Amino acid sequence: MKTQISARQFGIGLTLLTVLMLASCGQKPEESASSNTENPTAVSQTKPTAKSATATSTNQTVIPAEAQKLGVKPEGETACPSNAPIKGKITKKRGNIYHVAKSPDYAKVKPEICFKDTATAEKAGFSAPK
C-alpha cells in the first residue's frame, strides 16, 4: 500500500512539474526577466542595429516596393482617396489582396495601400479575394 501512495504522489508531482514547465514556455523573454524581481540581473544597453530594428518592426505589414510605387497611402483607417478607391490589404494567410467598392466588407477593410484601379493593384502583386 505504501508503494501505491508513493507512485501516486510521484504521478501528481510529475503532472504538476509538466504543467509548470508548459506554463513558463508561453512567457516571452521580456516577461520572464521582468518577473524576476528578487535577483536583478545586469541589462546590456546597446543601440539597436539595422538588423534588430527590422526584426522589431515585423509586427507591421511591409508593403512591397512595386506596390509603393503604384499605390497611394490611405486617408484614414478605412478610407482611400477618391482617385484611388481600390483597397490593398496584406495578409499572412491570403496574401496580398485588393477590395473593390462592390465588395461586401469594403467599408470595414483597413487598407495598407490604395490603387486607382484593379489592373494597377494586380500589377503591384495584389489579387482579388477568393
For the chain, 130 residues long, the average pLDDT of each consecutive 10-residue run is 70 82 66 50 51 42 86 92 94 92 92 95 92
pLDDT value at residue 58: 39
> Using CA atoms, how far apart are residues 101 and 128, in angstroms rounded to an integer?
12
Per-residue burial over 16-32, b = 16 or more CB atoms within 10 Å of its CB, e = otherwise: eeeeeeeeeeeeeeeee
In the chain, domain spans: 1-35, 61-123
pLDDT on residue 38: 54
Helices (H), 26-104: 29-35, 50-56, 65-70
3-class SS of residue 113: strand
Cell of 119: 489592373
pLDDT of amino acid 47: 52
Residue type, 109: V
- Cα three-residue angle 105-98-106, rounded to 5 degrees: 20
- The size of the chain, in residues, is 130
